[in-house]
Amino acid sequence: MTTNFYAPPSAIRAGRVVLPEEEARHLRTVLRGEAGDDMTVVDGDGGWYRARIDHVGPDQVVGTITDERDNVGEPDMDVTVALGILKKRSRFETFVEKAVELGARRVVPLRTRRTERDAIREERLRNVMVAAMKQCRRSRLPALAAPQSIEPLLAGDVGETRLVCHAGEESVPIQQAAADTRQRASALVLVGPEGGFAPPEVEAAVEAEATPVSLGARRLRAETAGIAALHAVITAQGN
Amino acid sequence: MTTNFYAPPSAIRAGRVVLPEEEARHLRTVLRGEAGDDMTVVDGDGGWYRARIDHVGPDQVVGTITDERDNVGEPDMDVTVALGILKKRSRFETFVEKAVELGARRVVPLRTRRTERDAIREERLRNVMVAAMKQCRRSRLPALAAPQSIEPLLAGDVGETRLVCHAGEESVPIQQAAADTRQRASALVLVGPEGGFAPPEVEAAVEAEATPVSLGARRLRAETAGIAALHAVITAQGN
């Protein structure tokens, strides 16, 4: 089976893995997995396992671990991406899915001056993230932060590269800014909601050492900007 | 009004523009446009116009052109992007929307060995494209080709850069391949459906001078791969 399964670290013990109910059902009813088959399991915490299936029950699958690795599919750089909460939930979900595929380590739903929605559907987004993690063959489940404003993200020491998506006169093309991040271990990418950040928000970010970056000549939707910026930053690291 | 309106070239004559019914209704009922307001109109064929509104009727808006430009919001490079028709229509629609935002000049729905669907919803996709063109402030409506296989795309003289998304051993990182396209006037970006291209398809593309490109260490969904590749190619041109 080429699909990855997800089991939390607590389900992996003494050389054996027990799939959670939903994963077990998927393996049995959709993929027709049987005892003797091999499966790949990730624990969302960087753990990656190959396992031989010992037992397939109605709601339970147990396997014996045959190979074990760390951080499979993970980029070297620890990238946090923060996007303004969007009016249309499906667009925010699309973004979250893509952020996981592209390798973000943390997703922050932002409350900004121009966001018109305060809350996210946390459980639904987590399900999207787990599915994306398995699909793209990562081993870490990115963190989903609580909705917040940009201030806490910008507080404290600047040990990371900070980029704020904003088409202004002083903005640097994203490819160039991404190339400049190469020596850093972590990055923060800030993207506004529909309509972008308000000028004081951009100023606050720049004051906190964020580089304003432009993403091309067209006006991208917020989620497209986030996807494009994230891909440029992570692939500039060569992974 | 910061929104762009769309009127086909036939609706622009003798210094005046007449908005089509649906656009006119949107201007009147949603944006509350009135005589005396300024509006921006694009004709989908590279024409960009500022106009002063003379008259707002129930289904008609007429304006006098006050400024006129060519190819506003258009990249220099003529990029065709071809994506395998996806099982889930909403994912293909998301891709088409993003392809317009990012600056593609032509979108080709591909029939490949691994596509499980033959047809697209042409009218619906055109509506998505028109909305995206207005939203991102382009002046050209990209062409939507009829569903086809890769062979006709690869036939003929190679005047363009050709890239085929495929994670193989000989693949070049997309950023590098995109930088190499700088001297060319046009490009073709090929992306498979779920599961990617079959080996003979990749071989046919390589034989027709396509460079296989990789998009990073994770397995991206087809539409994500298309978005990332397109953005890399077009921003490498500096626009």
Q: CA–CA separation, B60 vs B62, rounded Å?
A: 7
User: Closest approach of chain B CAs to the CA of A217, in angstroms?
Assistant: 5
Is the distance from CB of A178 to CB of A236 less than 8 angstroms? yes
* Per-residue confidence (pLDDT) for residue A2, from 0 to 100: 74
Q: Is the dihedral of CA A135, A139, A141, A142 positive or negative?
A: negative
Interface ipTM above 0.85: yes
Confidence grade of residue A181 (pLDDT, cut at 50, 70, 90):
confident
CATH of domain B2-68: 2.40.240.20
Residue A84 touches chain B, beta carbons under 8 Å:
no
Are β-strands B78-84 and B186-191 bridged in parallel, bridged antiparallel, or unpaired? parallel
Q: Residue A183 pLDDT more than 90?
A: no
Q: Which residues of B touch A235 (CB under 8 A)?
A: 173-175, 215-216, 228, 232
User: Closest approach of chain B CAs to the CA of A155, in angstroms?
Assistant: 31
Is the distance from CB of B223 to CB of B96 less than 8 angstroms? no
pTM over 0.80: yes
pLDDT tens by residue, A115-166: 999 999 999 999 999 999 999 999 999 999 999 999 999 998 788 999 999 9
B188 phi and psi angles, rounded to 5 deg: -125, 125
Which residue type, as a one-letter code, is found at position B117?
R
Q: What angle do CA B113, B114, B120 make, to 5 degrees?
A: 95
* Per-residue confidence (pLDDT) for residue B237, from 0 to 100: 76
Confidence grade of residue A239 (pLDDT, cut at 50, 70, 90):
low
* Per-residue confidence (pLDDT) for residue B236, from 0 to 100: 85
Q: What is the mean pLDDT of chain A?
A: 94
Q: CA–CA separation, B228 vs B177, rounded Å?
A: 13
Range of weakest confidence among A180-184, A209-213, B93-97, B144-148: A180-184
CATH of domain A76-235: 3.40.1280.10
Q: Do B101 and A136 touch (CB under 8 A)?
A: no
Assign 3-class secondary structure to B106-146: EEEEECCCCCCCCCCCHHHHHHHHHHHHHHHCCCECCEECC
* Per-residue confidence (pLDDT) for residue A3, from 0 to 100: 81
DSSP for A227-238? HHHHHHHHHHTT
Q: CA–CA separation, A103 vs A63, rounded Å?
A: 28
Burial class (CB in 10 A: 0-12, 13-18, 19+), B224: buried
- Long-range contacts, B195-198 (Cβ 8 Å, 24+): B195/B114, B196/B114, B196/B165, B196/B166, B196/B167, B196/B222, B197/B84, B197/B112, B197/B113, B197/B114, B197/B150, B197/B164, B197/B166, B198/B112, B198/B113, B198/B114
Q: Tell me the CA end-to-end span of chain A in Å, nearest whole number.
A: 25
Residue A232 touches chain B, beta carbons under 8 Å:
yes
Query: CA neighbours within 13 Å on the CB side: how many for B146?
Result: 1
* Per-residue confidence (pLDDT) for residue B239, from 0 to 100: 63
Compute CA A50 distance to the chain's CA centroid, rounded to the nearest angstrom.
23
User: Closest approach of chain B CAs to the CA of A222, in angstroms?
Assistant: 11
Q: CA–CA separation, A204 vs B113, rounded Å?
A: 51
* Per-residue confidence (pLDDT) for residue B180, from 0 to 100: 83
B207 phi and psi angles, rounded to 5 deg: -60, -30
Tens digit of pLDDT at every position of chain B (239 positions): 778 999 999 999 999 999 999 999 999 999 999 999 999 999 999 999 999 999 999 889 999 999 999 999 999 999 999 999 999 999 999 999 999 999 999 999 999 999 999 999 999 999 999 999 999 999 999 999 999 999 999 998 788 999 999 988 899 999 899 888 777 899 999 999 999 999 999 999 999 999 999 998 899 999 999 999 999 999 887 76
Query: CA neighbours within 13 Å on the CB side: how many for A12?
Result: 21
Q: What's the average model confidence in pLDDT over A38-54?
A: 97
Q: CA–CA separation, B18 vs B27, rounded Å?
A: 12
Range of weakest confidence among A77-91, A148-162, A217-231: A148-162
Q: Which residues of A touch B229 (CB under 8 A)?
A: none
Domain boundaries, chain B: 2-68, 76-235
Q: What angle do CA A87, A90, A92 make, to 5 degrees?
A: 65
